Amino acid sequence: MTPLGLEILLWYRIRATDYREGDFSAPAVLDTINYFRDNVGLLIPTPSRTGNCVSYCLTGRANIYLDHILSVPLPECVWIIPIPKDQDNG
């Protein structure tokens, strides 16, 4: 997962508008959205009232993935004194 991909998923998680206001002209953005939609099932088109796909929404798979990422605890700093190999019982 790239930072751009994560940003796009988080965008659709918290906003009701298309990513970049629907301007997918940047190749990396278009490629990522197409990949999420066509290959890994993280985005699905949301039809407008006229039946045209005007935006995307997250799939259940994407929501579970984001839940998992957001539940990772922050790292902790731990100080240790390493045991030299000649004093190790192994």
Task: Convert the pLDDT of each residue in 10-44 to its tens digit.
Answer: 999 999 889 998 889 999 999 999 999 999 999 99
Confidence check: pLDDT of 89 > 70: no
How far apart, in whole angstroms, are the C-alpha atoms of residue 22 and residue 9?
14
Residue 52: band (very low, low, confident or very high) from pLDDT cuts 50, 70, 90: low
Residue with tokens 């002209």: 25
> One-letter amino acid identity for 3?
P
Residue 51: band (very low, low, confident or very high) from pLDDT cuts 50, 70, 90: low
Question: Where are the chain's structural domains?
Answer: 3-70
On whether the CB atoms of residues 32 and 5 are closer than 8 A, the answer is yes
